[in-house]
Amino acid sequence: MTELEFDYLRAYLKQRSGLALTPEKRYLVESRLTPVCRRFGLATLRDLVGTLKVARDSAIEKAVVEAMTTNETFFFRDRTPFDLFRDVLLPQAMARRAGQRRLRIWCAAASTGQEPYSLAILLQEAGVKLAGWQVEIVATDLSTEVIEKGKLGLYSHFEVQRGLPVQWLLKYFTQIGEQWQIAPSLRSMVDYRPLNLLNGFEALGTFDVIYCRNVLIYFDTPTKADILGRLADRLGPEGALLLGAAETVIGLTDRLSPNPQHRGLYGVAAPVVRAASPVAPPVSQLRVAAR
Amino acid sequence: MTNDPAETRTCLVVDDSAVIRKVARRIIETLGFAVTEAEDGSDALLRCAEAMPDVILLDWNMPNVDGYAFLQALRQRPGGTGPKILFCTTENDVGAIARALRAGADEYIMKPFDRDILTAKLEQVGVVQADAA
């Protein structure tokens, strides 16, 4: 792959998915797109670039974008964001919403479903406290392939071991051969939808809690700022946004502010009250002051 | 729960495979544990009599005293309810897991495992802090 071809792929991926690839990620492009070439009968990455340039083949375009998307995830990843949900965010949201008895949660980069299902498990564990409540978990991802896997809720031994307590494995999963499927009652709590965060998401409505973890790290600064601003629009007045450990809003937007007590937790910032322009004192007072 | 070197946590790795013990030791030591090894349940009971560990990575299928018999004997000893037990086996069916939990295991690891899985399980039983890995 020549520099020109690599540059073309970088620009292509930036435009389609927001993925900001630095020059040292050349190896990643080669390792992830070579299987795509094989899948579509293309001999080299040069042929792939040539195809992308001249042909409008949505299957190849989609395969290229999805191959470059990182889908690393596991149940209760990093643990703290889920402890925070159970111990702080859920009780607070329930107190706020006691009138409507309705909660909306959005997992903005849900990947293969472990994050929304972790939240669904915590909601099921809350049990009787949520009886009569309408709780909706919206799970979105750029990749339709991972969304389909999420909908199925079927995981390998390896996947269910990563973060899922064994008691909940037995309680909420059924073993099917070498795999484990999450219970229908939990699957029905999650509404999967394909979504590219670069595009508008106003239609999703507003949410009490948004998880958007470990996805902004792949975007450049203007894209991060744009997405954060639009995520702020999707939060209710006292809504909560959770970002990944390596992500922040600082220096990117003044629409969101960090919660000083909980790392990775952000809320809608109070509107900035601009100091009024000083009004020139009457001439008479100036004269007094001058004495 | 601490990773303070002054309070080094201890882990006993019980497995009849020297390779598994070596791999597990290497991972667990990087998490700040002092590790001892036993090659079967009988050997493990002797180790526990010398010093009760904080956590035991316990293979299920071993010659002489297997994991199940070891766990039953351990739990009846003075101080034997203290160690957290990570039950570890290639038997991945629901019945095997449920049986291990009934016998007193705290968590379950399916072989083969890696550093991420082992670390996550140690976090889950509360002997490693979530941000220590």
* One domain, residues A200 and A244: yes
pLDDT for the residue A284: 40
pLDDT for the residue A87: 95
A142 falls within a domain: yes
Annotated catalytic residue A32: yes
pLDDT for the residue B4: 53
pLDDT for the residue B115: 84
* One domain, residues A127 and A258: yes
Chain A CB contacts of B92 under 8 Å are 157, 175, 178
Q: What is the CATH number of the domain that holds A8?
A: 1.10.155.10
Query: Residues, chain B, total?
Result: 133
Q: For residues A242, A248, A253 and A254, what is the CA-based torsion angle, rounded to 10 degrees?
A: 80
Total domains in chain A come to 2
pLDDT for the residue B131: 58
Distance, in angstroms, between B130 CA and closest chain A CA? 7
Across B57-75, average pLDDT: 90
* One domain, residues A146 and A59: no
Across A96-100, average pLDDT: 93
Distance, in angstroms, between A245 CA and closest chain B CA? 10
User: In sequence order, which residues have a C-beta less than 8 Å from that of residue B23 and are 6 or more positions away?
Assistant: none
**Which whole-number Å values give the CA distances from A141 to A82, A109, A267, B3, in the listed order?**
20, 5, 23, 37
pLDDT tens, position by position, A169-197? 999 999 998 899 999 999 999 999 999 99
Q: What is the residue-wise DSSP string for A1-58? A: --HHHHHHHHHHHHHHH-----GGGHHHHHHHHHHHHHHTT-SSHHHHHHHHHH---H
Q: What is the DSSP letter of A79?
A: S
Residue A22 has pLDDT above 60, yes or no: yes
A91 falls within a domain: yes
CB-CB: which of B97, B116, B130 is closest to A78? B130
* One domain, residues A44 and A100: no
Residue A138 has pLDDT above 60, yes or no: yes
End-to-end alpha-carbon separation of chain B, Å?
A: 14
* One domain, residues A158 and A207: yes
Q: What is the DSSP letter of B110?
A: E
Spatial CA neighbour of A33 closest among A57, A49, A15, A20 = A49
A279 falls within a domain: no
CB-CB: which of A74, A157, A170 is closest to B92? A157
Across A208-233, average pLDDT: 94
C-alpha to C-alpha distance for A103 and A240, rounded to whole angstroms: 12
Phi-psi region of A76 (alpha: psi -120 to 50; beta: other; left: phi over 0): left
A277 falls within a domain: no
pLDDT for the residue B129: 76
* One domain, residues A85 and A204: yes
Average pLDDT in chain A:
88
- For chain A, percent of residues with pLDDT exceeding 70: 93
Q: Are strands A207-212 and A235-243 parallel, antiparallel or unpaired?
A: parallel
Q: What is the CATH number of the domain that holds A184?
A: 3.40.50.150
* One domain, residues A156 and A253: yes
Catalytically annotated residue among A10, A77, A104, A141: A141
Across A219-227, average pLDDT: 93
Phi-psi region of A56 (alpha: psi -120 to 50; beta: other; left: phi over 0): beta
Question: Does B108 touch chain A if contact means CB atoms closer than 8 Å?
Answer: yes
pLDDT for the residue B90: 81
C-alpha to C-alpha distance for A74 and B122, rounded to whole angstroms: 16
Q: Are strands A190-194 and A134-141 parallel, antiparallel or unpaired?
A: parallel
Upper half-sphere CA count for residue A166 (Cβ side, 13 Å)? 29
Residue A251 has pLDDT above 80, yes or no: yes
pLDDT for the residue B120: 85
For residue A106 the two structure tokens come to 């959005």
Q: What is the DSSP letter of A271?
A: P
Contact by Cβ (8 Å): A269, A244: no
Question: Does A262 touch chain B if contact means CB atoms closer than 8 Å?
Answer: no
Across B116-129, average pLDDT: 86
For residue A19 the two structure tokens come to 């993925």
* One domain, residues A137 and A191: yes
* One domain, residues A158 and A210: yes
What chain B holds in terms of domains, given with CATH numbers, is 5-114 (3.40.50.2300)
A286 falls within a domain: no
Under the banding of pLDDT at 50, 70 and 90, the label for residue B2 is very low
List the domain range (segments joined by +) for residue A52.
3-67
Across B40-66, average pLDDT: 93
Residue A145 has pLDDT above 90, yes or no: no
Q: Do B108 and A157 touch (CB under 8 A)?
A: no
* One domain, residues A151 and A36: no
Whether the complex's predicted ipTM is more than 0.85 is answered with no
Lowest-confidence segment of A42-51, A247-256, A266-275, B111-120 by average pLDDT: A266-275
Across A69-73, average pLDDT: 75
Is B90 strand, coil or helix? coil
| Strands annotated E in chain A | 102-107, 134-141, 154-156, 173-176, 179-182, 190-194, 207-212, 235-243, 256-258, 265-268
* One domain, residues A43 and A124: no
Q: Are strands A256-258 and A190-194 parallel, antiparallel or unpaired?
A: unpaired
* One domain, residues A204 and A89: yes
Q: What is the CA radius of gyration of chain B?
A: 13
pLDDT for the residue A276: 54
Residue A228 has pLDDT above 60, yes or no: yes
End-to-end alpha-carbon separation of chain A, Å?
A: 79
